[in-house]
Structure 1
Amino acid sequence: MSENLYAPPATPVVDTQRVAAAGTEFFVTGTTKLVLLYFATFGLYPLFWFYMHWARYKRFRRQPMWPVARALFPIFFVRLLADEIDDRLRRENQRHAWSPGANAVWFIVLSIVSTIASRIPESVSPMASWLPVFLLPPTAWSMVNIQRAANLACGDKLGALNARLGWANWLWLLVGGVLWLLVLVGVLLPE
């Protein structure tokens, strides 16, 4: 049998990191990246975060669902996501000290309180308008706990496949930084 020495290789060249990330059941990302984007976007990052988790889940499980709806109404689906992640950990016999239910409930309660507080007029309660800002850290904490479990369930404990900030992430950080700066200037300037 004669081989053509000048023919290109028959083995396809594949970006293994991209394939590994696309083939996971859940969205894999670094927790530092998650927290940075969560704060920079004033808490809007969960829209993307939940969408990515459910889109990966849908593709992996080949189940009909609307990831967009689950991202827009996360308080109705965060518990299900946490339970699915926990089920995956159990199927893989992975030990992870966390409470999926408690983290989901924590996220739900904080999201509801934040939404209600943001609707209270400042004339009624000046502190109510600041409550959503104060609730950003504990809400981020519940998301980080869920993300750590998702990373572990996908075989990437640290989320290294998606830990680096891309150009779009830097753009969001820049816009968020400017908005945070404007908020601080508004707070510090005398009336």
Structure 2
Amino acid sequence: MHDGDADVRPQQDVYAPPRAPVGDVGRIRFDATRTAFHVVSLRKFWCLYLATFGLYQYFWLYRHWGQYRDWHREPLWPAARSIFPIFFMHALNRHVDDALRTSRTVHAWRPALSATMFVVLSIVSAIVGRVAARVDTMTQLDYLGIALLLPVGMAMAATQRAANAACQDPGGSANARLTAANWLWIVLGCLLWTLILIGLLAPVAPP
């Protein structure tokens, strides 16, 4: 193995990211798309998650499972695992925790608790959303549905911190900048938030 070969995976640590040539270490860390999990900074994560009213969750899960599949060459379907996350979140956290242990990376977290929080809060959020949709006017359920975005995001952020650590990029610096596509989604998300706020602030017509 040559130290400067970025395409050869280290044998002693299967979860370590590809290394850049020696002369480029100060300039390039690694390709965030060539790691066992999706690497993203927490700042970018929260920006996209909140701006898109939580819809970023589906892309986030798809990237995690897609990179895990490609890294381990396992026959799984990332799309299904992103559409039905409550059935696969515990598995994702177990895989991340296994990667931390294999790479001997110290990271304090509770994978089972984080996954359980995500599952329970996601189910509650779905129920609240369905019930609220049957009412023509805005009710306390609508406010609750919006408020649930934060704890669900916190459970996801716990997984992301661990995934970044497992990929040897705790700060997610390899994927910290907002791209043109990111900004497009942010703009669309802001339009969605505007419509939601108009609905929340609009006066309720008397019966």
TM-score (norm 2): 0.80
Structure 2: how far apart are the matches of 1:155 and 1:144? 16
Q: Do structure 1's residue 68 and structure 2's residue 79 form an aligned pair?
A: yes
- The alignment of Structure 1 onto Structure 2 pairs a total of residues equal to 180
The residue correspondences of 1:87-98 to structure 2 (distance < 5 A) are 87-98=98-109
Q: Which residue of 2 aligns with 1:101?
A: 112
Q: Kindly state the Cα deviation for residue 18 of structure 1 after the two structures are TM-superposed.
A: 8.9
The residue correspondences of 1:26-175 to structure 2 (distance < 5 A) are 26-120=37-131, 121-122=134-135, 126-175=139-188
1:131-164 CA-to-partner distances (Å, cap 9, x unmatched) read: 2211001111111110000000001010011111
Matched residue type, 1:69: A
Moved more, 176-185 or 96-105: 176-185
Structure 2: unaligned runs, 5 residues or longer: 8-19, 21-27
Q: Kindly state the Cα deviation for residue 124 of structure 1 after the two structures are TM-superposed.
A: 10
TM-score (norm 1): 0.87
1:6-59 CA-to-partner distances (Å, cap 9, x unmatched) read: xxxxxx999x55963232000000111111111111111111001000100000
Structure 1: how far apart are the matches of 2:42 and 2:73? 27
State the structure with more CA Rg.
Answer: 1
Structure 2: how far apart are the matches of 1:19 and 1:189? 49
Matched residue type, 1:182: L
1:54-100 CA-to-partner distances (Å, cap 9, x unmatched) read: 10000000111101111111110010000100011011111111000
Identity over the aligned pairs, expressed in percent? 45
Structure 1: unaligned runs, 5 residues or longer: 1-11
Q: Kindly state the Cα deviation for residue 172 of structure 1 after the two structures are TM-superposed.
A: 0.8
Relative to its length, the structure with more helix (as a share) is 1
Structure 1: how far apart are the matches of 2:57 and 2:147? 17
